[in-house]
Structures are given as C-alpha cells and as structure tokens.
C-alpha cells in the first residue's frame, strides 16, 4: 500500500462540471472530492452517465462546450490547475499530467508514424532535438514492450493491433515522465488476454516511476486488480470511497452492493443475479434528495434530504474508520428517523 502522508499529487475538491444544453443545465459532475498520492492508484468506478469520464476530462481541462467547469479546485502538487491560463496549462498537459483513452485508434493521428507521435511530445515539452527525440521515442516504445521498436516507430497506427496501439498511447503518455497518469477505460476495447498485458504494464511502469495513477472504469474486476483506493460514482457524485480491500470486503452503499451482486462471475456459480431496479435518472427527473433513492431497496423518508459523503458511524459492523459513504443508513439520524416511522 502506498504512503499518503505527504502532499498528494492530485487533490480534487468540490469539482463541478455542467453541460448547458437547450433543456437546461445537466450537472455531470456535482461536487466531487478525492486525492491520489505518489505511487498510488485511485480507481473511479461507475456506470454510463455517472460522471466518471467527465471528471477525468475536467482534470485535463478537455471538457468541450457546452460543458464547463463551474466550481471547485484541482490541485497538482499544491498548484490549482483551474487558476492557470490556457497556455500555462498547455505546458502541463501531456507533460506533468497525461491521459490515455479507451480507443487508441481514435486518439492516435492516422497520418503520422507512431515514432513521430511519441517524439512530438518530447520535442514540445522536453525541448529535445529531432535526433534525440527519435532515440528517446524508440527507448519509450521498447519500455512499453513493443517488439522491434526501431521498425515499429516507422509504422502508422493502422498497421498495429489494438493492444500495440494502446502501448503506443502509453509510451506517448509516459514519455515526459508525468506525475499523474489518467487512464480512462484503458482496456475496455481490448480482449481479455491483451487487457491482462496492458494492466500489468501500467503497474510495472508505475512501480519504476512512482507516478500517481487515476484509473477510470466500469469494470469492478479491473478495479480490484489495479487500484489501492476506490471511489464509486453515481449520477455525478461520489457515493462511496474506501481502500480497495475494505470496499470489496464490506461495501456499504446500497448502490455499491447492488453493483457487486450484479456482476456475473466466471469463478463463482450464481443462480440469479441481483438486479438494481430501474435506470439512472435523467437530469430532469433527478431526485433532490439521495439520487439513488428511487432505485434503493432501503429508501426511507429521510432519504428525501440529500445525504453528504461522510465516515460511517452507525450500522456498519466492522470497526474501522477508513472510507466514506453517502447514505443515511450509516448515520445516527437513520435510527431516529426509522424509529419515528415505525411509531407512525
């Protein structure tokens, strides 16, 4: 487990990103806090529409119109990135903070060789000359496990397989030795055997460089395997946060529990999958209280009030203080509220 006593590499506080559409404001990310330390991996997990990808795009300041970062702060080793001008931040992006995406084909430029694309980042950020950049690019390609890197550097993206392209993306992302790597569904488009290779590669590279990694995925298996800490997102909010072992041992939020019981597993027999009824509410029908309320089997009157993300103090059994959950069940108020209900 990583040390977190020093200043975190990334600290996000109260992040709010909204999309201003004809039908009104859609709060894609609504008050998200988390931090990631050096050598640490934070996993953000959630289903489509949970705001996990917008969170990562916000950190990279790649949210496109009509989307806008409305509030909060994003601190990279103590500097607020949201206070930087566009040109100032451009020096950070791809240099101190890098990102890899789900689909490596669409994130690579089809008309340049991969060698050119890896050296481009080095020439811009590290001010290397053409020759040095080329050499360094080949070294990076080798580092990410591409066989015959001198030859592959001359190839175009379409000449490589999906797994190889993702390795090239990783080579570009890591070429400037970033402090933070954001991986948004890095293996979702890949086959399982290739996924295993890529996850292993990211882990090894992190061990040698000590960078902080933010991994965004819908796959709880990938989370269990790669993350040190986990944030579960639902409808634009973090609903539960804990270190990975605690989260999987005793998920607290009804949504997290539901999610875990809904995955068909290849290593365990399950007769019937547990189902979370309904679907994620659209922004127009978002409940003002707990956003999971309409789908929650435990919903009670108190859930009409919006709960905050807090350390559980009640009803959670195991004595440990790590983690936080956004649910009334784990507060003192729950007991009084449900007792009152019983009396009525």
Partner 1 sequence: MTTPLFETKNLKKYFPVKGGVLNRKMTDVKAVDDVSFAIHSGETLSIVGESGCGKSTTGRAILRLEEPTDGEIYFDGEDFRKLSKSQLRKRRKDIQIIFQDPYASLNPRQKVKQILDEAMAIQGVVPKKDRPARIRELMEVVGLRPQQAERYPHEFSGGQRQRIGIARALSVDPKLIVCDEAVSALDVSTQAQVLNLLKDLQRKFDLTFLFISHDLGVVRHISDRVVVMYLGKIVEIADKKSLFDSPHHPYTRALLSAIPVPDPERKTERIVLEGDVPSPMNPPSGCRFHTRCPFATEICKQEEPELRTAGDMVDGHQAACHHMEEIVEQYGKTPSVQE
Q: Which is nearer to partner 1, 13 or 47 (CB)?
A: 47
* Closest separation in Å from C-beta 34 to partner 1: 18
Q: Which is nearer to partner 1, 249 or 339 (CB)?
A: 249
* Closest separation in Å from C-beta 118 to partner 1: 20
* Nearest to 301, CA basis, from 330, 331, 341: 341
* Closest separation in Å from C-beta 270 to partner 1: 6
Return residues touching partner 1 (CB under 8 A): 47-48, 161, 163-164, 191-197, 199-200, 218-225, 244-245, 248-249, 258-260, 262-267, 269-270, 272-277, 279
Kindly state the DSSP code that residue 87 receives in the 8-state scheme: H
Q: Which is nearer to partner 1, 133 or 198 (CB)?
A: 198
Measured distance CA(275)–CA(286) in Å, rounded: 20
* Closest separation in Å from C-beta 154 to partner 1: 19
* Assigned token pair, 194: 């290739």
Asked if 177 and 209 touch (Cβ cutoff 8 Å), the reply is yes
* Closest separation in Å from C-beta 269 to partner 1: 7
Asked if 181 and 95 touch (Cβ cutoff 8 Å), the reply is no
Within its chain, how far is the Cα of 87 from the centroid? 25
- Annotate 196-245 with DSSP letters as a single string: HHHHHHHHHHHHHH--EEEEEES-HHHHHHH-SEEEEEETTEEEEEEEHH
Longest pairwise C-alpha distance within the chain: 79
Q: Which is nearer to partner 1, 50 or 331 (CB)?
A: 50
């Amino acid at each position: 487990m990583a040390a977190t006593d020093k200043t975190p590499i990334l600290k996000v506080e109260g992040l709010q990103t909204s999309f201003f559409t004809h039908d009104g404001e859609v709060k894609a990310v609504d008050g998200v806090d988390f931090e990631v330390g050096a050598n640490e991996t934070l996993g953000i997990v959630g289903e489509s529409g949970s705001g996990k990808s917008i969170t990562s795009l916000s950190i990279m300041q790649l949210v496109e119109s009509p989307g806008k970062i409305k509030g909060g702060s994003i601190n990279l080793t103590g500097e607020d990135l949201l206070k930087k001008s566009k040109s100032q931040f451009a020096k950070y992006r791809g240099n101190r903070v890098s990102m890899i995406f789900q689909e490596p084909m669409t994130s690579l430029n089809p008309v340049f060789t991969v060698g050119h694309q890896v050296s481009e980042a080095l020439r811009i950020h590290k001010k290397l000359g053409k020759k040095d950049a080329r050499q360094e690019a080949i070294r990076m390609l080798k580092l990410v496990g591409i066989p015959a890197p001198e030859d592959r550097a001359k190839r175009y993206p379409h000449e490589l397989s999906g797994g190889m392209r993702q390795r090239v993306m990783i080579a570009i992302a890591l070429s400037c030795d970033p402090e933070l790597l954001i991986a948004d569904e890095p293996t979702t488009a890949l086959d399982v055997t290739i996924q295993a290779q890529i996850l292993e590669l990211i882990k090894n590279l992190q061990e040698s460089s000590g960078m902080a990694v933010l991994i965004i995925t819908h796959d709880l298996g990938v989370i269990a395997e790669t993350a040190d800490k986990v944030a579960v997102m639902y409808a634009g909010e973090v609903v539960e946060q804990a270190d990975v072992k605690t989260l999987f041992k005793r998920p607290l939020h009804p949504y997290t529990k539901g999610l875990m019981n809904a995955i068909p597993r290849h290593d365990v027999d399950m007769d019937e999958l547990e189902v979370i009824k309904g679907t994620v509410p659209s922004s127009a029908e978002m409940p003002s209280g707990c956003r999971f309320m309409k789908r929650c089997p435990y919903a009670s009157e108190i859930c009409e009030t919006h709960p905050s993300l807090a350390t559980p103090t009640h009803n959670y059994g195991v004595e440990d203080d790590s983690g936080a959950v956004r649910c009334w069940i784990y507060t003192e108020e729950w007991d009084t509220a449900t007792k009152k209900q019983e009396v009525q």
